[in-house]
Amino acid sequence: MPTFVQILDFIGTFAFAISGIRLASAKRFDWFGAYVVGLVTAIGGGTIRDVLLDVTPGWMTNPIYLICTGLALIWVILFGKYLIHLHNTFFIFDSIGLALFTVVGVGKSVALGYPFWVAIIMGSITGAAGGVIRDVFINEIPLIFRKEIYAMACVFGGVVYWGCHLLAMDTVLTQIISGSSVFVTRILAVKYQICLPILKGEEEPDI
Amino acid sequence: MPTFVQILDFIGTFAFAISGIRLASAKRFDWFGAYVVGLVTAIGGGTIRDVLLDVTPGWMTNPIYLICTGLALIWVILFGKYLIHLHNTFFIFDSIGLALFTVVGVGKSVALGYPFWVAIIMGSITGAAGGVIRDVFINEIPLIFRKEIYAMACVFGGVVYWGCHLLAMDTVLTQIISGSSVFVTRILAVKYQICLPILKGEEEPDI
Amino acid sequence: MPTFVQILDFIGTFAFAISGIRLASAKRFDWFGAYVVGLVTAIGGGTIRDVLLDVTPGWMTNPIYLICTGLALIWVILFGKYLIHLHNTFFIFDSIGLALFTVVGVGKSVALGYPFWVAIIMGSITGAAGGVIRDVFINEIPLIFRKEIYAMACVFGGVVYWGCHLLAMDTVLTQIISGSSVFVTRILAVKYQICLPILKGEEEPDI
């Protein structure tokens, strides 16, 4: 029987993979290219985190992420043209993934004994770095650097995790509160189109 | 005296480096930039594999890859304009490199005790990831996501390796059969322009 | 009390972060995006080096680099439009950073027992790879592959380090001479617009 967290993990991985595969299909990638872009979107953040923490990436010990990405690819091949109607569903799934991945990243770093500012960065990398690699592969400027609040929701969730930890809360409760704050921040940011200010600078710096 | 495998390794590295240097020259990179792009094309895949497997990358213990890339750069500087006539030769060399790198990647992972689905991915990364970094550096969408079968030949070779292993074949024979299957797949794919299907999706997904 | 090297490290980090933030602002990144680009410009090279050397990246044990990048972001937000007048100052700061990062990278590799050709590459990665990631993130072809001598100054500084080491010089003296040679090379290269030759090749290679 999968646990509740494993089910959330599967949903999040599926949503992240779908986001990569859809953007790959807009660039006319072939099936293999779409699979790879979906996979790096789903596991890229966690892989960078694990390389930095010097532990074995999760997908190298459990094939579920590869299988999940394969199912996402089949889904898009079969139902691609109806996906646009599921936009809101996937947005919710993607936000679930973002919340869960952040909590997993923060928790893993804390468990390894790293200070909280490292854990917050690792949570953000877990949640958002896969999307950055995705955008580099499809040759676009990473969305999260320009659009509404995304990675900042991870940072906020990490800070909340820290706060709960300082208050000596139970670990499971801490993870639920932290994950919920990521999820709610992301939902509110999109609903009310909350953006960070654009950085205005010179037109063409020379460095 | 270099062994047969070392000679193949040198030929493959040389061909991979040449492919990076030629694409860099089309973008008007300087000599240094061309050298770096050639080098990451040749050693990038193996480096990512070794970082994931948590072992020291091969080029950090043996300077042959740096020297080989340097020779490739000198070759392009001296004979660049005649290279187009050697197109078929370099295609054969590149396919030799792809086959050998795949077998080395699969074999190294299996030797470290990883399951076969990890080994197949590591073989594909060894063979194809250098070309992905190359294309990111020259600011193009990676070729292998869109063109005829390339990384899929690595995946196929990894599966063949697995099959031979299940049949309890001798290691050297396994490697020869696996490498040949990569080589032949790649040659046939280009000769008959065998492509994977393009993924058709919505025009502009919004995630 | 910070040491002289720590002050130089802070100046170099600040200058590298500023270069990333300014380029991000020209692409209309938001504050978060600009911070991330500034950060990877400052710490990206050292992080790649430490992953390859299999040691913990420096920014995971000392938050100074994150704080320094934050100060750089505030600086650009407040004084962005005047920065163009400080062009020469930042060029000097950037060259200090390049020199220091190179020496740190070479020194760390030598201390870990790697041969000098590895140390020279690690010095160059420390000095120049952050700028490559920066340019990939803003979706431009990396500047250092096309413009006047930059990473070659790191290579030269690494070779000088090696020469001093062969002459059995004192470590501190070796570092000063090596760092100065990077700094002077970079200053002269820009002042006299010294470039490496462009690699001329076929117009459109097919591999």
Distance from the B134 Cα atom to the nearest Cα atom in chain C, whole angstroms: 11
CB neighbours (10 Å) of residue B14?
Answer: 23
Give the Cα separation of C104 and C106 in Å (integer): 6
Work out the widest C-alpha separation in chain A, in whole angstroms.
58
Does A160 fall in a domain?
yes
**A136/C136 Cβ within 8 A:** yes
Over range A52-67, report the average pLDDT: 94
A141-150, A166-175, C98-107: the lowest-pLDDT one: A141-150
Whether A130 has a pLDDT exceeding 70, the answer reads yes
Angle A7-A9-A12 from CA coordinates, rounded to 5°: 110
Does B200 fall in a domain?
no
Give the Cα separation of A74 and A31 in Å (integer): 10
Over range C145-174, report the average pLDDT: 91
CB neighbours (10 Å) of residue C171?
Answer: 13
**A54/B52 Cβ within 8 A:** no
Across the interface, of B21, B30, B94, the residue whose CB is closest to C196 is B30
Over range B175-200, report the average pLDDT: 91
Whether A201 has a pLDDT exceeding 70, the answer reads no
DSSP A22-33: HHHHHTT-BHHH
C119, closest residue in chain B (CA to CA): B60
Distance from the B129 Cα atom to the nearest Cα atom in chain A, whole angstroms: 11
Across the interface, of C145, C200, C206, the residue whose CB is closest to B36 is C145
Q: How confident is the model at residue B202 (pLDDT cuts 50, 70, 90)?
A: low
Q: Is A85 on the interface with B (CB under 8 A)?
A: no
Q: Half-sphere exposure of B49 toward its Cβ, with a 13 Å CA cutoff?
A: 32
Predicted local distance difference test score (pLDDT) of residue B144: 86
Question: Looking at this protein, which amino acid is placed at residue B195?
Answer: C
CB neighbours (10 Å) of residue C115?
Answer: 13
**B141/A27 Cβ within 8 A:** yes
DSSP A157-195: HHHHHHHHHHTT--HHHHHHHHHHHHHHHHHHHHHTT--
Tokens 């990638």, located at residue? A29
Give the Cα separation of C107 and C168 in Å (integer): 15
Across the interface, of A115, A145, A206, the residue whose CB is closest to C30 is A145
Percent of chain B with pLDDT strictly greater than 70? 97
Domain region containing C91: 4-77+87-191
Q: Is C21 on the interface with A (CB under 8 A)?
A: yes
Q: Which residues contact C33 (CB under 8 A, 6 or more apart)?
A: A142, A144, A145, A146, A199, C24
Does B204 fall in a domain?
no
Nearest to C90 by CA among A134, B99, B52, A202: A202
Predicted local distance difference test score (pLDDT) of residue A93: 86
Whether A207 has a pLDDT exceeding 60, the answer reads no
Q: Which has more pLDDT, C64 or A147? A: C64
Predicted local distance difference test score (pLDDT) of residue B87: 77
Q: pLDDT tens for residues C15-42?
A: 999 999 998 988 889 999 999 999 999 9
**A22/B207 Cβ within 8 A:** yes
Q: Is C167 on the interface with B (CB under 8 A)?
A: no
B85-94, C155-164, C177-186: the lowest-pLDDT one: B85-94
Percent of chain B with pLDDT strictly greater than 90? 68
**B54/C52 Cβ within 8 A:** no
Question: Looking at this protein, which amino acid is placed at residue B152?
Answer: M
Report chain C's mean pLDDT, rounded to a whole number: 90
Give the Cα separation of B96 and A171 in Å (integer): 53
Nearest to A27 by CA among C18, B142, C46: B142
Enumerate the residues of chain B whose CB falls inside 8 A of the CB of residue C204.
26
Give the start-end residues of each E strand in chain C. Answer: none
Give the Cα separation of B38 and C111 in Å (integer): 29
Predicted local distance difference test score (pLDDT) of residue B88: 81
Give the Cα separation of C176 and C120 in Å (integer): 16
Does C119 fall in a domain?
yes
Whether C202 has a pLDDT exceeding 70, the answer reads no
Instruction: Give the C-alpha distances (Å, rounded to integers) separating C78 from A201, C49, C85, C89.
Output: 10, 33, 14, 17
Predicted local distance difference test score (pLDDT) of residue B177: 96
**B114/A76 Cβ within 8 A:** no
Give the Cα separation of C203 and C201 in Å (integer): 6
Q: Which residues contact C149 (CB under 8 A, 6 or more apart)?
A: B32, C185, C186, C189, C194, C195, C196
A147-156, A172-181, B34-43: the lowest-pLDDT one: A147-156
What A2-5 contacts at long range (C-beta under 8 Å, 24+ apart), as own/partner pairs, is A5/A100
Give the Cα separation of A159 and A156 in Å (integer): 5
B140, closest residue in chain C (CA to CA): C141
Nearest to A189 by CA among C86, C32, C146, C64: C32
Give the Cα separation of C160 and A28 in Å (integer): 49
Enumerate the residues of chain A whose CB falls inside 8 A of the CB of residue C36.
145, 151
Whether C65 has a pLDDT exceeding 70, the answer reads yes
Enumerate the residues of chain A whose CB falls inside 8 A of the CB of residue B142.
33, 137
- The most confident of the ranges A181-195, B41-55, C22-36 is B41-55
Give the Cα separation of C46 and C126 in Å (integer): 5
Does A30 fall in a domain?
yes
Over range A46-69, report the average pLDDT: 95
Residues C154, C155, C158, C160: is their CA dihedral positive or negative?
negative
**B47/C51 Cβ within 8 A:** no
Q: Is C54 on the interface with B (CB under 8 A)?
A: yes
Hey, what are A182's tokens? 């990521």
**C139/A206 Cβ within 8 A:** no
Does A206 fall in a domain?
no
Question: What SS3 state is found at C140?
Answer: coil
Nearest to B130 by CA among B53, B57, B182, B32: B57
**A137/B202 Cβ within 8 A:** no
Count of the separate structural domains present in chain B: 1
Predicted local distance difference test score (pLDDT) of residue B81: 75
**B77/C207 Cβ within 8 A:** no
Enumerate the residues of chain B whose CB falls inside 8 A of the CB of residue C195.
30
- Please name every residue paired with B198 in a beta bridge, in sequence order, or none if there are none: A30
Whether C205 has a pLDDT exceeding 60, the answer reads no
Percent of chain A with pLDDT strictly greater than 70? 96
Whether A55 has a pLDDT exceeding 90, the answer reads yes
Q: pLDDT tens for residues B104-155?
A: 999 999 999 999 999 999 999 999 999 999 999 999 999 888 777 889 999 9
Q: Which has more pLDDT, A203 or C78? A: C78
Q: Is A57 on the interface with B (CB under 8 A)?
A: yes
Over range A73-85, report the average pLDDT: 83
Q: How confident is the model at residue A121 (pLDDT cuts 50, 70, 90)?
A: very high
8 A C-beta contact, residue A147 and residue A132: no
Q: Is C138 on the interface with B (CB under 8 A)?
A: no
Give the helix ranges, DSSP H, for A54-115: 64-79, 87-111
Does C67 fall in a domain?
yes
CB neighbours (10 Å) of residue C200?
Answer: 12
Distance from the B85 Cα atom to the nearest Cα atom in chain C, whole angstroms: 11
- Candidates C32, C55, C65: best to mutate against A (most CBs of A within 10 A) is C32
Q: How confident is the model at residue C105 (pLDDT cuts 50, 70, 90)?
A: very high
Angle C175-C181-C187 from CA coordinates, rounded to 5°: 135
Whether B207 has a pLDDT exceeding 70, the answer reads no
Give the Cα separation of B21 and B23 in Å (integer): 6
Q: Which residues contact C177 (CB under 8 A, 6 or more apart)?
A: C160, C164, C169
Q: How confident is the model at residue C199 (pLDDT cuts 50, 70, 90)?
A: confident
B101 Cα distance to chain centroid: 6
SS3 for B15-71 is HHHHHHHHHHHHCCCEHHHHHHHHHHHHHHHHHHHHHHHCCCCHHHCCCHHHHHHHH
Predicted local distance difference test score (pLDDT) of residue C203: 54
Size of chain B, expressed as the number of residues it contains: 207
Does B201 fall in a domain?
no
Over range B161-185, report the average pLDDT: 94
CB neighbours (10 Å) of residue B139?
Answer: 14
**B205/A23 Cβ within 8 A:** yes
- Candidates A29, A51, A74, A144: best to mutate against B (most CBs of B within 10 A) is A29
Question: Looking at this protein, which amino acid is placed at residue C202?
Answer: E
Give the Cα separation of A54 and A59 in Å (integer): 14
Whether A200 has a pLDDT exceeding 80, the answer reads no
**A199/C30 Cβ within 8 A:** yes
Q: What is the complex's ipTM, to 2 decimals?
A: 0.89
Question: What SS3 state is found at C167?
Answer: coil
CB neighbours (10 Å) of residue B18?
Answer: 27
